[in-house]
Each structure stands twice: as structure tokens, then as C-alpha cells.
Structure 1
Amino acid sequence: MKIIETSAGALTNFELLDLLRSRGAGKDASRAIATVSQSEFKVFDYLEGTVACNQTREIIDNFVAECQKFDLTKAEILNIVNIRPRNEPELFPLVEECEQRMEDKTEELVETITRILPPHPSQADEANEEAAEGEEETEPEQAEGEEEQ
């Protein structure tokens, strides 16, 4: 890896994942011929299991723009993007003096996070399973109602 500009700033997990993908990291069979070191593959594999795998540059840019009204620091926004808290208890450790600074805006911030940032892959799978279970439960009831008529 060639450093172009030192201390340019911290990267989100998505940006690091995007960098590794551009260098040839991936899950396919050509992985053995890529110009990525073994440790970089381990980082890639880890990041593929985090919320970063579902994010895009547009999503992050949109989220950063929305966060302007909450007066968050760059480090706080970075942590929120990387971790994607789902509720207030998960948000409090990421925002310094959250209760005093945010006052009644914490619910709005959590809503903004859940609306803009995509869920963790395991959360998306759980939501899909719950939706499928809900559909399965309604189908037999409809079938019974049709038989009676």
C-alpha cells in the first residue's frame, strides 16, 4: 500500500473495504493471484461481515449531510457509520456527553441512523426471516377462508 498523504484523516470501514476491493480482495477463486497481502485478506473477510458491506459512498455522504443538524464531531460520525447503533443505549457510548448535548434529539438521531444506514447483514437476514414467517402465517388462514366459501 502506498501512502499518498499522511494523516489525511480516518477512514470509515466502508472506505477501507472499498480500497481492499479495488486492490483485488474478494471472495472469488482469483483471490490467490490478487496483489493483496494475507493480513489484508483477513481484514477484508472481517469487514465483509460488518455493516460496511451494505454501505455505499452515497449512503455515507447522505448520512453525513443529515448529521449536520446534530452537531456531532467527525469522530462521532465515523463511529456511528462503522457501528450503526439501532437504539439509544447503543448510541450513548458513541457520542460524548450524549444526554447533555443531544437533549431530546437522540430519538431523532437513532431514527436518522436506521432510516439512512443499511442494517448489519445478520439484522437484514433476521428481518427477511420474520417477514417470510409473517407471510407463511397469513397464507394458511386465507386458504382456510377460501375452502369455507
Structure 2
Amino acid sequence: MEVINKMVTLLPNVEVLKIINETRARETKKKKHDQDSKLSTLLFETSSYLNQTPVASQNEEHFCKLVEVLKPVKLTQAEILQIANLRPSSSIELQLIIEDCEERIKTEEQLELKSLQCYHRWRQNLWTRAKQPTDRKRANTEYDRAYFGFVLA
């Protein structure tokens, strides 16, 4: 077996889900006999998994703004990507993601990251409790503006 297209870059789960949804849309437009059943299964399973994670309530703009918020902490690109994808909810999870966390990151920055974790936990809980998409968006917008000074998404 030969690798035809090498991996060029790492992608956040937000972009992966977008690509999967676009590919699924293209596949469903094809005639039934032209569709690849294995590809359809793979797309369905991956999409189902990603839709059960926090990425389901995010978009690319949200990821970009999260990167802006994390820039002052001086994390590596891989660490930022893992934080965006995994949404750590505890200090232990954060320390597993950030190499030499206690040595590299000041106490104030750790507190900032912990408050960001609390924010994402709160937002995810709110999102799952809200019954209507408009309720979710309104609550998220108000909290984002109060917390960050701008709206994440």
C-alpha cells in the first residue's frame, strides 16, 4: 500500500466535521449505485461520534476566537488544538495536555485556563438544557459578551 496524499496539517474537530458533512452531502447527491457503501458508513460513524462531542455546538469562527484567547498563554499549536478538540474540564486533563504545565505556565495563566474550562463546561450544560436553538444562541451570546467582551459563536 502506498500513501498518495500525505497529511499536510493537523485539523481541529470543527473542520473535520465540516469536511465530513460536505462529503456526505456530495455522496447523497450521487445515484444509489454510484455511492461507496464503505465510505458512507465511515462518514456516518465519524459524524455520529463528533456530533456527541462539544464540537457539535461550535463553528470555525469559535475555534479562531478560542485560539486568540489562548495566545497569551504561549501554548504550542498541538496543545491549543488538543484543548479545542477535547475541551478539558479539570486541572488534571489540562496538565495531561500541556507539557510541563506547572513550569511553563504562571499561576495567573493557569487560573485563566481553569476559568475558561468552567466557561466551556457551563456553556455545554446550557446548550444541552436549552430546548430551542434560539434559546441556546441567545444565552451563549449574552454570556460570551460578558465573559470575553465579544461573541464566540
TM-score normalised per structure 2: 0.65
Asked whether 1:112 is paired with 2:116, we answer: yes
Give the count of matched residue pairs.
121
Distance in 2 (CA, whole Å) between partners of 1:113 and 1:12 is: 18
2:60 aligns with 57
Asked whether 1:39 is paired with 2:42, we answer: yes
% same residue? 27
Say if 1:59 and 1:5 are closer, same or farther in 2 by CA, change over 3 A.
farther
Distance in 1 (CA, whole Å) between partners of 2:53 and 2:68 is: 23
Asked whether 1:95 is paired with 2:101, we answer: no
The CA deviation at 1:124 is 3.8
**Cα offsets for 1:37-64 (capped at 9, x unmatched):** 2112111111110111111111100011
Distance in 2 (CA, whole Å) between partners of 1:64 and 1:110 is: 16
> Do the aligned residues in 2 keep the contact of 1:63 with 1:116 (CA within 8 Å)?
no
Task: Show structure 1 runs of 5+ residues with no match.
Answer: 130-149
1:22 aligns with 22
Instruction: State the Cα RMSD in Å.
Output: 3.2
Bigger Cα Rg = 1
- Partner SS state of residue 106, structure 1: helix
TM-score normalised per structure 1: 0.66
Distance in 1 (CA, whole Å) between partners of 2:130 and 2:94 is: 25
1:138 aligns with none
